[in-house]
């Protein structure tokens, strides 16, 4: 698919943190909410607050379902797992508040702050305060003891204070995030819905959707659940868009069978149609990743490739591939489950045989990266680096040895390029494994496909998403 934001790269790499200083802006009349009541553990899907009021001098604003919670945490964690990371005074993302920053995005760093942002999906009143449930588990521990030493919790909304694309095509109140790999990757659901008759409503249960009836839309809705990316690829070529491809495995597939049942001929599951019932206003379009002005994919001609401290100006294509090491296992689970069928002997089970025939374990193994760059050779530097057999890595505060893929969406006159939609892929600790140099035709160009084996891939994005 054409890539217009980093959402799929989050599910390919696995870790996401946001720049707390560049994550939208506080809604009107709000300020930092004191602190967490209790410490948040990795994998937890909620936080506890003493109340929902985000106080400011001019009033009170309550948090609600659909808003976003930002935990500002300055604790740093490593972005590499295959070696002991180097740690200095300014070599972490998004940069030391007292030293030089990493605003250029192309400096070498191996640590990051752990601020996270999540969407509120439910609020439960407690005897003292509230429990806020979020749409995706927290990935890092956050300190909380109800005192001023705990991590700050801030409120974010998709309103005038949130990120949006200006008429000049740059982002007002942009969100900057870092994606990197670690010991696990998030799971997701993939919904697939098709129908060959445009009858009935998209947003309500179709109670007269029985097979063969006048209002039968012949809709098929499936939800692939427990999905994890197995392989992924990021590629582009001359005058083409930045493309993403992935393979994923699912633990089970839910199929809506409501229209096959005698007593309930309507769909139990209402399909999420993007423009009919999911992203029907400006705020929901932003949350869905298709904010107005952001749908255009990143293009090859608005990108650059840097390596060894200089720009590779004659790159015609590249491919960056990753394997997550995910593997599914089937185990003996339980006794067979009887199937329920209708009058035509069609199964009405949403998950056949109660899921006993589906995989029960997903193991995440060793990740691997490979990269291929098609370049016109202008000097012998690449050949010399191949002959040296040296691992190429960055150094603190320098981008000399990084491979840096930078894609941006241009802004119009009056806009600020620093606030443009951008995607930066930083490739570190790699070995050149092959530089074939074919004999060119007479007066032809000397092309070569450079093969690399990176150990580390990080992505810095500036976009309109509070959370991928």
Give domain limits for the chain. Answer: 7-181, 188-278+326-364, 300-324+366-463
Whole-number pLDDT of residue 352: 81
**What tokens appear for 156 in the block?**
């974010």
| Record: fold of 300-324+366-463 | Pnp Oxidase; Chain A (2.30.110)
Collapse the DSSP code of 457 into the 3-class scheme (helix H, G, I; strand E, B; otherwise coil) and give the result.
Answer: strand
Give, for 304, the enclosing helix (H) or strand (E). Answer: strand 303-307
pLDDT in single tens digits along all 468 residues of the chain: 999 999 999 999 999 999 998 999 988 777 667 678 889 999 999 999 887 777 666 666 788 999 999 999 999 999 988 888 876 656 788 875 433 445 555 567 888 999 999 999 999 998 888 899 999 999 999 988 766 678 889 999 998 889 999 999 999 999 999 999 988 999 999 999 998 888 888 888 877 788 888 888 888 899 999 999 999 999 999 889 999 999 999 999 999 888 888 777 778 888 898 888 899 999 999 999 999 999 999 998 888 888 776 677 688 899 999 999 999 998 887 667 777 777 777 778 888 877 888 888 888 888 999 999 998 877 777 777 767 766 666 665 455 678 888 899 999 999 898 899 999 998 888 888 888 878 878 878 888 888 999 998 999 999 999 999
State the pLDDT at residue 32: 62
DSSP state of 122: E
**Do 289 and 5 contact (CB within 8 A), yes or no?**
yes
Please report the beta strands in 139-210, taking only residues with DSSP state E, as ranges in sequence order: 152-156, 164-165, 171-172, 175-181, 188-194
Q: How many Cα atoms are found within 13 Å in the side-chain-facing hemisphere of 61?
A: 18
Tokens 């799971």 correspond to what residue?
187
Whether 94 contacts 182, CB under 8 Å: no
> In a 3-state reduction of DSSP, which class is residue 93?
strand
Tokens of 325: 């090491």
The Cα 318–Cα 238 span in angstroms is: 10
Which residue, 96, 244, 179, is CA-closest to 426?
Answer: 179
With beta carbons less than 8 A apart as the criterion, state whether 437 and 427 touch: no
* Chain-centroid distance, C-alpha 202: 27
**What does each C-alpha distance from 464 to 172, 286, 288, 366 come to in angstroms?**
9, 7, 10, 32
The token duo for 217 is 């839309």
Token pair, residue 282, equals 């400006």
pTM of the model: 0.91
Burial of residue 9, with CB atoms counted within 10 A of its CB: 0-12 exposed, 13-18 middle, 19 or more buried:
buried
Residue 246 has what pLDDT? 95
pLDDT at 420: 93
Q: What does the chain come to in residues?
A: 468
Structure tokens at 335: 């006794």
* C-alpha of 357 from chain center: 30
């Amino acid at each position: 698919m054409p890539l217009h934001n980093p959402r799929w790269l989050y599910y390919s790499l696995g870790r996401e943190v946001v720049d707390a200083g560049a994550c939208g802006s506080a809604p009107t009349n709000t300020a930092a909410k004191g602190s967490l009541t209790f410490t948040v553990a990795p994998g937890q899907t909620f936080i506890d607050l003493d109340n929902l009021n985000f106080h400011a001098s001019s009033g009170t604003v309550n948090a609600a379902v659909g808003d976003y919670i930002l935990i500002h945490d300055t604790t740093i964690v490593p972005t590499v797992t295959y070696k002991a990371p180097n740690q200095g005074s300014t070599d972490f993302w998004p940069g030391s508040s007292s030293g030089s920053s990493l605003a250029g995005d192309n400096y070498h760093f191996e640590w990051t702050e752990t601020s996270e942002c999540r969407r509120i999906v439910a609020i439960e009143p407690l005897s003292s305060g509230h429990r806020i449930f979020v749409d995706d588990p927290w990935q890092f521990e956050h300190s909380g003891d109800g005192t001023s030493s705990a991590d700050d919790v801030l409120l974010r909304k998709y309103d005038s204070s949130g990120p949006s694309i200006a008429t000049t095509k740059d982002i007002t109140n942009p969100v900057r995030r870092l994606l990197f790999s670690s010991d696990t990757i998030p799971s997701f659901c993939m919904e697939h819905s098709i129908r060959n008759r445009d009858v009935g409503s998209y947003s309500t249960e179709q109670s007269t959707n029985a097979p063969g009836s006048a209002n039968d839309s012949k809709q098929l809705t499936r939800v692939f659940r427990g999905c994890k990316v197995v392989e992924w690829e990021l590629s582009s070529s001359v005058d083409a868009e930045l493309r993403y491809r992935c393979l994923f495995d699912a633990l089970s597939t839910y199929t809506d069978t409501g229209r096959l049942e005698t007593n309930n001929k309507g769909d139990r599951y209402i399909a999420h149609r993007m423009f009919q019932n999911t992203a029907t206003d400006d705020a929901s379009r932003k949350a869905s990743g298709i904010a107005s002005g952001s749908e255009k994919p990143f293009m090859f001609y608005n990108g650059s490739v840097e390596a060894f401290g200089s720009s590779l100006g004659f790159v015609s294509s590249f491919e960056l591939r990753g394997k997550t090491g995910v593997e599914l296992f089937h185990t003996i689970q339980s006794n067979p489950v009887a199937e329920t069928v209708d009058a035509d002997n069609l199964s009405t089970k949403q998950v056949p045989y109660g899921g006993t025939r589906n995989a029960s374990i997903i193991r995440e193994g060793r990740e691997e990266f490979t990269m291929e760059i098609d370049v016109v050779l202008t000097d012998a530097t690449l050949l010399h680096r191949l002959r040296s057999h040296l691992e190429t890595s960055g150094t603190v505060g320098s981008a000399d040895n990084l491979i840096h893929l930078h894609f941006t969406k241009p802004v119009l006159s009056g806009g600020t390029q620093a606030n443009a939609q951008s995607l930066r892929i930083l490739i570190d600790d790699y070995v050149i494994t092959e530089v074939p140099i074919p004999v060119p035709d007479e007066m032809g160009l000397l092309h070569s496909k450079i093969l690399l084996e990176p150990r580390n891939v990080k992505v810095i994005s500036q976009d309109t998403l509070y959370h991928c």
